[in-house]
Structures are given as structure tokens and as C-alpha cells.
Amino acid sequence: MYINHVSHYVPTERVANSYFENVNGLEDQWIFDRTGIRSRSKASKDENTNTMAVQAVKNGIAESGFLPEEVDLIVGASYSPYDTVFTIGHAVQREIGAINAKVVYVSSACSSLLNAMEVAEGYIAMGKAKNIIVVASEHNWKYSNESCAKSGHLWGDGAAAMFISTEAKGEKSGKVLNIYTQGLAHLGKANNSVYLRPGDDGLGMPDGRDVFINAVTQMRNAIDIVLSNSKKEVKDISYVVPHQANGRIMANLQRQMKLEDGTIFSHIEEIGNTGCASTALCFSQNIDRVGNDDLVVFTVFGGGYSVGAMLIQY
């Protein structure tokens, strides 16, 4: 299975930390010191999870080597849907004219992207798909309570698309060596530490400390598993693309793995936590840094809890 192209879409509006001082009493430096965030992206009133997903796909399909009629599977990933019936995958199918595609929707918090990649892997293994679009999109501002001092300042909006096939297409294709995911609902405060309850409390993270403790352990464990499964070692890694949840989590991961500066891709300072879209989005923003023979690892942790990692060889 090959990732032939990655593309993204980020709304133009940025909300600076200073905005929250009058909203929930949090100061710029306090937020930055604890999260690594200076600003976050925010969808306009005319945008939603579906429109951002469509734009991310449109931004990349010309370079992907895919013709819309050749796409035989679209897997959408999100926990913040605009529509739970006409999902992001359906919106993409309609807008690009992928009339021969199956459409699947996956939701497992911030690890949804890698579960979507496993769905793609499964369809390929069964011989049911050859040209696949995996698209992740989050509209966190739609559901978040900006006045919440615990998590209202964390969230950003955005989308990313990965164009996948059974063979390499184009000049920069990465071979997926291994994908690992695991549900971890039995750990810690998984049932209450992060939630999205439409019509009730919306999106919240009342126990960030429990998330932090489990994320820093499980994201590293997931990396070790995909490396072992592929007979690779930490020293072989060129770049790490972690879920953009918190700058301190990423710094902790760098220390654990003894990685050089510049090895970890990050955009959290500018656009905040864009949920399950964050890894593919960040990778798309930095793909020009990846060269031939580079080994790239994604690692994610989602509320609920769930974890995953993916190893890609260029």
C-alpha cells in the first residue's frame, strides 16, 4: 500500500491567545507554556467539516495521479461531523465525481485517521479497492466552549487527504510498512477525560493531566511496535509526525526517543489541535522536507482512549 500524495486545507482565520484573556481569563504566555499554542485556525461561517474535507481533496487530486472515476473507496475520518448521514466521504464523492467509490466513515477520536488507514489496508487486502482517498476533517470550533478554561483554547479547524493505491504513482510515494492501532478504554479516566456530547456540553477536556500521562506513554509504545513489526529501530527514523495535541507531549516524546531537533514535525503553535486531521495535515505542510529513503512514523492518541502508529518508507 502506497501513499502517493498528501494535501490539506486550513481556514485562513487565526484566533490569537490574547482573545481568551477576556473570554476565560487565560493569558497568552500561560496558554503557550502549557500547550505550545500561540494561535488556532477557525472555520468561517460558510465552512464546515464537509466543505473543508472537499477542499483538502480538491487541493491534491490533480497531483495524486488519480482520476475521479478510478477512485474505488473513500474513507472519511472525523469526530466533529457536520452531518452524520451525508458524511465527509459522501461530500467528497459528490463534489469530485467519484461515481465508482464505496464510502465509509470512521470515528475514534484523534486516532481516527489511522483507523481509516487500516480500513483502506483491509479493502486492499480483500481485493475490493485499488485507488483510495482517506480524508480527515475536524470542525472543533463548532462544538467547543471557548469560555471553558480547561480546554476552550485548544482547538483548531482543518482537513487533510491522503491518496493511496496498491502501487506507487508519481515521484514521491511512500510505502506503508506497518500500521498499528489499539483501543485503550480500560485505562485511566478514558470515559470522562475527553468528550463531545452534541446538544449537551459540547467538546471538552476536563482532565488533561490524565490524557497527558497516557498519551506520552502510549504514543511511544505504538512507535516501538511498528518499528519492531518492520524490523526497524529508532535510529532509522528520519521524521516523526505526532498528533498535534500539546507541545509538551511532543517535547516529552522527543526526549524519550532522544531525537534531534527538527525530527518532529509540528504546527500546533499556529493552528492548535486539529484533532484526527492533525497528523496528515502537518505531514502535508512538511512533505517537501521528506527525501528518498526517509523513514517517517506517525503516532496518535485519541480520547476514549485509543492509540496508533504508522511507518512509511520513502
Architecture of the domain delimited by 2-165: 3-Layer(aba) Sandwich (3.40)
pLDDT value at position 232?
A: 98
How far does Cα 235 stand from its chain's mean position?
Answer: 24
CA pair distance 240, 233, nearest whole angstrom: 13
How far does Cα 201 stand from its chain's mean position?
Answer: 23
Region of 135 please: left (phi>0), alpha (psi -120 to 50) or beta: beta
pLDDT value at position 201?
A: 83
Which tens digits make up the pLDDT trace of 184-226? Answer: 999 999 999 999 998 888 899 999 999 999 999 999 999 999 9
Which tens digits make up the pLDDT trace of 123-159? Answer: 999 999 999 999 999 999 999 999 999 999 999 999 9
CA dihedral 123, 126, 128, 131 (to 10 degrees): 50
**Which residues make Cβ contacts (< 8 Å) with residue 61, sequence separation at least 6?**
7, 68, 96, 133, 161, 163
Give me the percent of the chain exceeding a pLDDT of 90: 97
Count the residues in the chain: 314
Helix%, strand%, coil% for the chain, nearest 5: 35, 25, 35
Report pTM: 0.96
CB distance 19 to 42 below 8 Å: no
CB distance 18 to 190 below 8 Å: no
Average pLDDT, the chain: 96
pLDDT value at position 80?
A: 97
Which tens digits make up the pLDDT trace of 78-130? Answer: 999 999 999 999 999 999 999 999 999 999 999 999 999 999 999 999 999 99
Find the mean pLDDT for residues 23-45.
97
**Topology match between the domains 2-165 and 174-313:** yes
Find the mean pLDDT for residues 154-167.
97
* CATH superfamily entry for domain 174-313: Thiolase/Chalcone synthase (3.40.47.10)
Which tens digits make up the pLDDT trace of 218-272? Answer: 999 999 999 999 999 999 999 999 999 999 999 999 999 999 999 999 999 999 9
Q: Report residue 170's pLDDT band, with 50, 70 and 90 as the boundaries.
A: confident
Q: Strands 202-204 and 102-106, how do they pair? A: unpaired
Domain boundaries, the chain: 2-165, 174-313
How far does Cα 299 stand from its chain's mean position?
Answer: 9
